[in-house]
Amino acid sequence: MNQRIENHPIIDIPTRKRLKFFYNGKALFGFEGDTIASALHAAGITQLSKSIKHHRPRGFYCAIGNCSSCFMRVNGNPNVKTCVEPLREDMIVESQEGRGSIK
Protein backbone atom coordinates (compact mmCIF):
# COMPACT_ATOMS: atom_id res chain seq x y z
CA MET A 1 0.00 0.00 0.00
CA ASN A 2 1.37 3.37 -0.99
CA GLN A 3 -0.21 6.41 0.62
CA ARG A 4 2.14 9.02 -0.83
CA ILE A 5 0.69 12.13 -2.42
CA GLU A 6 2.03 12.22 -5.96
CA ASN A 7 0.30 15.30 -7.38
CA HIS A 8 -0.75 18.44 -5.57
CA PRO A 9 -2.14 21.73 -6.88
CA ILE A 10 -0.22 23.89 -4.38
CA ILE A 11 2.68 21.93 -2.92
CA ASP A 12 5.63 21.05 -5.14
CA ILE A 13 6.46 17.41 -4.58
CA PRO A 14 10.23 17.32 -4.08
CA THR A 15 12.51 14.48 -5.11
CA ARG A 16 13.87 13.11 -1.90
CA LYS A 17 16.50 10.62 -0.83
CA ARG A 18 15.14 7.19 0.03
CA LEU A 19 15.95 5.89 3.50
CA LYS A 20 15.87 2.25 4.55
CA PHE A 21 14.67 1.40 8.05
CA PHE A 22 13.47 -1.66 9.94
CA TYR A 23 9.99 -2.10 11.37
CA ASN A 24 9.74 -5.14 13.65
CA GLY A 25 12.58 -6.71 11.69
CA LYS A 26 11.16 -5.99 8.24
CA ALA A 27 12.99 -3.61 5.89
CA LEU A 28 10.90 -0.65 4.74
CA PHE A 29 11.67 2.56 2.91
CA GLY A 30 10.79 6.13 3.72
CA PHE A 31 12.08 9.50 2.53
CA GLU A 32 14.39 12.08 3.96
CA GLY A 33 12.10 14.60 5.67
CA ASP A 34 9.78 11.87 6.95
CA THR A 35 9.14 11.25 10.60
CA ILE A 36 9.06 7.61 11.65
CA ALA A 37 5.25 7.74 11.87
CA SER A 38 4.80 9.37 8.44
CA ALA A 39 7.02 6.72 6.84
CA LEU A 40 5.08 3.92 8.58
CA HIS A 41 1.75 5.47 7.64
CA ALA A 42 2.82 5.79 4.01
CA ALA A 43 3.59 2.07 4.09
CA GLY A 44 0.10 1.35 5.43
CA ILE A 45 1.12 0.77 9.05
CA THR A 46 -1.21 2.80 11.25
CA GLN A 47 -1.05 0.95 14.57
CA LEU A 48 1.96 2.37 16.37
CA SER A 49 1.39 1.47 20.01
CA LYS A 50 -0.98 -0.34 22.37
CA SER A 51 -2.77 1.20 25.31
CA ILE A 52 -0.96 0.26 28.51
CA LYS A 53 -3.87 -1.21 30.47
CA HIS A 54 -6.20 -2.76 27.90
CA HIS A 55 -3.70 -3.24 25.04
CA ARG A 56 -5.95 -1.48 22.58
CA PRO A 57 -4.38 -0.57 19.23
CA ARG A 58 -3.34 3.07 18.98
CA GLY A 59 -2.13 5.26 16.15
CA PHE A 60 -1.04 8.86 16.42
CA TYR A 61 -3.65 11.48 17.28
CA CYS A 62 -1.92 14.88 17.15
CA ALA A 63 1.15 14.27 14.93
CA ILE A 64 2.99 17.16 16.60
CA GLY A 65 4.41 15.54 19.73
CA ASN A 66 1.67 16.34 22.23
CA CYS A 67 -0.47 13.28 22.81
CA SER A 68 1.93 10.35 23.48
CA SER A 69 -0.16 7.92 21.45
CA CYS A 70 2.66 7.07 19.01
CA PHE A 71 5.33 5.78 21.41
CA MET A 72 7.60 3.08 19.98
CA ARG A 73 11.01 1.61 20.69
CA VAL A 74 13.62 3.14 18.39
CA ASN A 75 17.20 1.89 18.27
CA GLY A 76 16.54 0.28 21.65
CA ASN A 77 15.13 3.41 23.32
CA PRO A 78 11.52 3.17 24.50
CA ASN A 79 8.85 5.89 24.44
CA VAL A 80 10.12 7.69 21.35
CA LYS A 81 7.53 10.10 19.93
CA THR A 82 7.55 8.65 16.44
CA CYS A 83 5.30 11.39 15.05
CA VAL A 84 8.06 13.98 15.44
CA GLU A 85 11.24 11.87 15.41
CA PRO A 86 12.97 12.29 12.04
CA LEU A 87 13.50 9.06 10.11
CA ARG A 88 17.14 8.09 9.68
CA GLU A 89 18.90 5.47 7.57
CA ASP A 90 18.96 1.99 9.19
CA MET A 91 16.77 2.98 12.14
CA ILE A 92 15.42 0.04 14.09
CA VAL A 93 11.77 0.70 14.93
CA GLU A 94 9.86 -1.77 17.08
CA SER A 95 6.42 -2.04 18.66
CA GLN A 96 6.64 -1.47 22.38
CA GLU A 97 4.86 -3.45 25.10
CA GLY A 98 3.63 -1.57 28.14
CA ARG A 99 5.57 1.34 29.52
CA GLY A 100 8.86 0.19 28.02
CA SER A 101 12.13 -0.31 29.83
CA ILE A 102 15.68 0.86 29.34
CA LYS A 103 18.00 -2.03 28.64
Partner 1 sequence: MIHADILVIGGGPSGLSAAIAAGKSGAEVLLVERSQYFGGQLVKQTHMFFGSEKQHASSRGFDIGKKLVEEVKKYGNIKIFHNTTALGIYEDGVVTLEQKIGAEEIYLKVRPQSIIIGTGALEKSLPFPNNDLPGIYGAGAVQTLMNEYLVKPGKRVLMVGAGNIGLIISYQLLQAGVEVAGIIDASPKIGGYLVHASKIRRSGVPILTGHTIVKAEGDKHLEKATIAKVDDHWKPIPGSEMDMNVDVICISVGLTPSSAFFWQGGCEMKYVRELGGYVPKRNRFLQTTVENIYVAGDSAGIEEASSAMVEGSIAGFAASHDLGFVYEDFDREMQDLLEELQGLRGGEKGAHIRAGYEKVMF
Binding site for partner 1 (CB under 8 A): 3-11, 13, 33-35, 38, 41-42, 46-48, 51, 56-67, 69, 75, 83-84, 86, 88
If 0-12 CB within 10 Å is exposed, 13-18 middle and 19+ buried, where does residue 98 land? exposed
Helix (H) or strand (E) holding 57: strand 57-58
Minimum distance from residue 25 beta carbon to partner 1 (Å): 19
Distance CA 39, CA 24 (A): 14
- Name the minimum Å distance from CB 65 to partner 1: 7
**Closer residue to partner 1 (CB): 58 or 73:** 58
